[in-house]
Amino acid sequence: MPSIIDRYLIREIGLTVLATVLVLLAIVLSHRLASYLSKAASGLLARDAIFLLLGLQAVYFLVVLTPLAFLLSIMLTLGRLYRDHEMIVLAACGYGPLSLYRAVFLLAAPLSLLTAGLSFLLIPAIMELQFDVLAKARKEAEVSMFAPGTFREVLNGRHVVYIGALDERELRHVFIQSREPDGSLSITTGAQGRQETSEEGIRNIVLDRGYRYRGAPGQGNYDMLRFERATVRVDTAPPPQAWLHRETLPTRQLLNSSDPGHIAELQMRINSPIQILVIALWAPLLARAQPREGRYGRVVAAVLIYAVNFNLVGVGESWLSHGVVGAALGLWWVHGLFLLFGLGLLLHDYFNGRSIRLIFRRATARTCAA
């Protein structure tokens, strides 16, 4: 049964985790919102799908950001208790380091289980729905990209497109002015056309029965070409990466797979729950601030350590995806390094505290002898 102090620490750290996750989500989702709005303004994404995509991204980033939020909450909560001498009072009352670890792990264990459940069960379904919504929004944007009777720049201003009329998916009376790499201009007209998306995800305008004029401005020697069919690329987005779709695979399929990409995806799903438990080992030791110590010095140090962890996980994931390391090593070497780091801090704290206690006992013995 958790004590009153355990419940107090769990509540303080838990509320800080919640607030930190909300702040981090707001920062990340605001960046994603700007990206989606830019794509919608360029005609690459339907506006109606933006908020649904943000909601799906919020669930995904909840799993990714939870370890960082847990680390910051421990550093902020325990750091304040140390600076305000509250931890000294608790230690004098018998609430030592092991009791502190009990409270931290009572929160870390269910948080890790919740993250594992989301990562293993919910995130694959979320990612599959996200790819479906993106594909649907892209198709809808094919129709809504051009409005009849208006000029629109595409491909970073390389083309200026005018559509005279729009009949469902068929474009009529199409006019396209293009800037060529050599500085000349070309004008392409067509009685009718349509938008098509290639297998690589590139969007094009396909014109039927039209003319193409090309030449330098101010000169009269324009070339004229009559065509039965012409294709003009209007998409600025890179083709989607097929390897991202491994995130939609169910966990049971990843368990039975020997594909390096699938092994890397499985290890990444395990990463966040393991990170939370490892952080629960070394973060309380790093949070031991001195009374006159700066308020955010140790928080910055913790964030830098987490950044090293994050980058090493990225390196390990790349090695797994390319078959450089096997599943036996996987990302466990990263977790092992930081587990050793936590044990090193624990041993340093133990021997340092033991030496302080020994000095205190010798000083007390000399005083009594005098």
List the structure tokens of 191: 């009685």
Q: Are 17 and 111 in contact (CB under 8 A)?
A: yes
- Residues 255, 361: one domain? yes
Cα gap 170→194, rounded to integer Å: 5
pLDDT for 145: 65
Q: Taking CA 298 as the corner, what is the angle to CA 292 and CA 299, rounded to the nearest 5 degrees?
A: 125
Residues 301 and 212 occupy one common structural domain? no
| 19 and 108 together in one domain | yes
Dump pLDDT digits (tens) for 2-46: 788 888 889 999 999 999 999 999 999 999 999 888 877 766 777
Contacts with 337 (C-beta within 8 Å, 6 or more apart), sequence order: 312
* Cα 189 to chain centroid, rounded: 44
User: Residue 16's closest CA among 79, 95, 86?
Assistant: 79
Residues 331 and 294 in one domain: yes
Contact indicator for 222, 213 with CB cutoff of 8 Å = yes
In total, the chain counts a number of residues equal to 370
| Same domain flag for 18 and 152 | no
Residue 359, pLDDT score:
43
Question: What are the C-alpha distances in Å from 72 to residues 24, 90, 146?
Answer: 11, 22, 47
Residue where one domain finishes, among candidates 174, 203, 233: 233
Q: Which residues contact 335 (CB under 8 A, 6 or more apart)?
A: 274, 275, 278
46 and 27 in a common domain: yes
- Output the CA–CA distances (angstroms, integers) from residue 34 to 30, 31, 38, 39, in the order listed: 6, 5, 6, 9
For residues 120 and 183, membership in a common domain is answered with no
Neighbours of 120 (CB within 10 A): 17
Quick one: what percent of the chain has pLDDT higher than 90?
28
pLDDT at 343 over 70: yes
Rg (CA), the chain: 30
CA angle (322 as vertex; 320, 327 as ends), nearest 5: 30
- Taking only the tens place, the pLDDT of each residue in 137-190 is 876 666 566 777 878 777 777 888 888 887 767 888 888 888 887 778 888 898
Task: Please compute the mean of the pLDDT values over residues 61-76 and round it to a whole number.
Answer: 93
Segments forming the whole domain that contains residue 361: 4-140+242-369
Identify which of 148, 158, 147, 157 has the alpha carbon closest to the alpha carbon of residue 186.
Answer: 158
Average pLDDT, whole number, for the chain?
A: 82
Task: Say yes or no: 228 and 248 in one domain.
Answer: no
Nearest to 298 by CA among 40, 8, 79: 79
Two tokens at 153?
């720049």
Task: Say if residue 279 is in the same domain as residue 213.
Answer: no
Which pLDDT score is estimated for 24?
Answer: 94
Residue 337 pLDDT: 93
Q: Is 205 helix (H, G, I), strand (E, B) or coil?
A: strand
Q: 259 and 53 in contact (C-beta within 8 Å)?
A: no
- Please say if the pLDDT value at position 277 is more than 90: yes
Quote the crossing angle between the two packed helices 260-286 and 50-83, to the nearest 10°. 30
DSSP reduced 3-state for 158: coil
Cα–Cα separations (whole angstroms), residue 189 to 147, 150, 167, 186 = 17, 15, 17, 10
Q: How many CB atoms lie within 10 A of CB 35?
A: 13
Q: What is the pLDDT of residue 237?
A: 54
Most confident of 70-74, 132-136, 170-174, 294-298: 70-74
Q: In the listed set 189, 214, 233, which residue is the last one of a domain according to the structure?
A: 233
Q: Which residues pair with 211 in a beta bridge?
A: 189, 226
- 207 and 90 in a common domain: no
Above 50 in pLDDT, residue 227? yes
> Does one domain contain both 90 and 113?
yes
Say if CB 203 and CB 183 are below 8 A apart.
no
pTM of the model: 0.74
* DSSP at 224: E
Domain tally for the chain? 2
Same domain, 17 and 120: yes
CA distance 259 to 265: 10
Of 215, 233, 251, the last residue of a domain is: 233
Query: Do residues 91 and 222 touch, judged by C-beta distance below 8 A?
Result: no
If 0-12 CB within 10 Å is exposed, 13-18 middle and 19+ buried, where does residue 248 land? Answer: middle
